[in-house]
Every structure is written in C-alpha cells, then in structure tokens.
Amino acid sequence: MKFGFLSKIFEGALSIEKTYNECDKALGQLKAYNEKRKDADFRISNEEKIALDEVVNTALENATRIVDKEGERNWPGVFREMHKNLASLYLELDEHDKVRAACERLENYGEVGKLDAEEVMQSLKEKEDS
C-alpha cells in the first residue's frame, strides 16, 4: 500500500503552518522596527537590517508561493489568511499599491475576507492620513 499522497498532504500542512509562523514573525519584527524608527536616536546595524530583510523576504516569498496555488487547491481559509498576511506585510513595508491589490483579492473570500480587507484598508487610510 502506498502512502505517497498522505506524505504530500502532511508536507503541505507543515509548509502552510511554517509560512503562518514566518508571517507572524516578520510582522512582529517589522512593527517593532517601524516603531523604533520613530525615535530620534534610532540606529540599526547592517547585520540587523540584513536579518530583518531575510525574515521579511522569506515570509513574502512563502506566502506568495502558497497563494499562487489558488485554482489548484481548495484551501479558501488558507488563501484568505495568506492574502491578509501579505496585505499586512505590505502595509508595514509602505507598499500601498500592493496592500490594495492584496485586499482586492482578500475580498473574494466571503464576509470574513471582506472584513479583513476593510480592517487593513482602514489601517492604510490612517497611515496615509498621518
């Protein structure tokens, strides 16, 4: 009896969970970085910036890799969460056009997706108004 399909499902679940964790870590670090940047005496070493960039880029790449499977997989909850993660990361990176694009895709995931998109767009509006 072959269980290859089970290992693929398990690997996919691990990859999704790993990507959730990477996105959470990247968002936390970006928020802390953006908050610290407001201080007049803020400094960051090249090594710290490289490490932050690596965490953020890994999260972006892996979340994008997952949402690229839309149409191939029936994972609406996963795709909604990944679009929200992407929108939130882009918000922290001040990539406003990418925030809007991620929110447009997020709105396609029912009422929860629409609420998530509205929340992120409200944060974007507040950021732009300040």
Asked if residue 22 has pLDDT above 60, the reply is yes
The predicted-structure confidence for 71-103, as pLDDT tens digits, reads as follows 988 889 999 999 999 999 999 999 999 999 999
Res 12: pLDDT? 52
Helices (H), the chain: 4-36, 46-67, 76-92, 96-106, 110-129
Asked if residue 123 has pLDDT above 60, the reply is yes
The pair of structure tokens assigned to 82 is: 């990944």
Asked if residue 1 has pLDDT above 60, the reply is no
pTM above 0.85, yes or no: yes
> What are the distances in angstroms from CA 76 to CA 7, 27, 35, 46, 123?
21, 22, 33, 39, 24
Res 73: pLDDT? 87
The predicted-structure confidence for 28-56, as pLDDT tens digits, reads as follows 999 999 999 999 999 999 999 999 999 99
Instruction: Say which residues have a Cβ less than 8 Å from residue 87's Cβ, sequence separation at least 6.
Output: 98, 99, 102, 103, 106, 116, 117, 120
Would you call 107 helix, strand, or coil by DSSP?
Answer: coil
How confident is the model over 108-119, as a mean pLDDT?
Answer: 96
